[in-house]
Structure formats: C-alpha cells, structure tokens
Amino acid sequence: MLSMFAWLTLLVNAVTLLLIICLLRRNGTRSALPSTFRVAASRLAVVITVAASLGSLYLSEVGDLTPCRWCWIQRIAMYPLAFVLLIGWLTGDRLVRRYAVPMAVLGLAASTWHYLLQQVAFLSDAESCSLVTPCSVTYIEKFGFISIPWMAGSVFLLTVILLTGFRSTESRIG
C-alpha cells in the first residue's frame, strides 16, 4: 500500500510539472491546455485533497503511524482544505478560492519545513517535536526522496497551481 502512495505522489509531481510548463508557455490569455481542463481543475483539486485526507487517515489508523506535531499541522491544513473545496464545489461557491489558497499555501510551508527537518541533519535537532514521535524520523521513504511530508507538500502545491493558474468562469468553484 505504501508503494501505491509513492507512485501516486510521483503522478501528482508529474502533473504538477506539466501544469507549471503549461502556465509558463501561456501566451497572453491563451492557455496551452484546453478550456475543458480549466473547468475540471477545480474538481481535480477536490479529488486530490479528499484523497490525501483519506490517505493520511489510512496511514495513522490502519498503518499505525503516529503523527508527529508537524504532521498534525499539515493535517490541520489538509482536512479543512478538502472539506472547504468539497462544500464549495457542491454549492457552487465561486469565492471558495479566497479561503482555500491560503490554507494550501500554509500547508505547503508546513510540509516544506517538515521535509527539511527530515532531510537536513542540523535541523533534525529542532525542539518542536517530542521524543515519542520525533519529526525528524522518516517513517516512509520511497524512491530515495518521497516521505509523508513530500506527499502532503505535493498535494498542497498542485492544489495551489490548480486554483490559481487554471481559473474558469464555467467551473463550479470559479
């Protein structure tokens, strides 16, 4: 199951890279992607945040991985983000981006810091975490770089790109 999470993260990273390239290649108001994708972008943001929330619950409740403090901070950003985007999409709230984008940016910042705690030796002694569940311990590492904070950060980044770079007047979220 953990390998599946890692492969899905690679897929999210590939999609993110593709979308960044499309945004950079944009000419004026014309996009390198069809308008149907612009409409589907908000739906994709809902799907990936809900899937990430369910995945994090799976890792802690079924996989018995105890979340550290920084994992909880990321969850504090991800769970409401998924809920806000889902409710916004169901109700057609065209202003939901005002709330969702800052939540995703804060979650991305927390994920980045947590990843640095795991990867940079002199940061691993940070006193923000407990001895029972240290933030510097990498419970999962696939392909040499994918860990839980990388997974969460990938979803937060893709969400920011989808909500800010691919707005549509025809989308339920706007």
pLDDT digits (tens, 9 = 90+) for 68-85: 889 999 999 999 999 999
In this predicted structure, the answer to whether residue 32 has a pLDDT above a threshold of 80 is no
Domain boundaries, the chain: 2-23+33-165
Q: What is the rounded average pLDDT for all residues in the chain? A: 87
- Which amino acid, one-letter code, is at 34? P
The 10 Å Cβ neighbour count of residue 122 is 6
H helix and E strand count, the chain: 5, 0
